[in-house]
Amino acid sequence: MLYRRLRARLDAIGVTVAGLLIGRYATSMEMTGLTLTVLKLDADLERWLKAPAHCAFWSVA
């Protein structure tokens, strides 16, 4: 529900969403909740963010 609302607001102001990651990621082992990160990417940063990577709690194919 949070993503749907955020996405609607971003679409309304013309922001393009480059990617979406939903899953279990390690932040604090005993904590519940969510993390939402919104940042401006240039082409180089987007390329690095989407580059193949495999490590604990992070995998990009």
User: pTM for this one?
Assistant: 0.63
Q: What is the pLDDT of residues 9-59, one digit of tens each?
A: 999 999 999 888 777 766 666 777 777 888 889 999 999 988 998 887 777
Residue 41 burial (C-beta neighbours within 10 Å; 0-12, 13-18, 19+): middle
Q: In the prediction, which pLDDT does 27 show?
A: 63
Distance (Å, rounded) from C-alpha 32 to C-alpha 29? 8
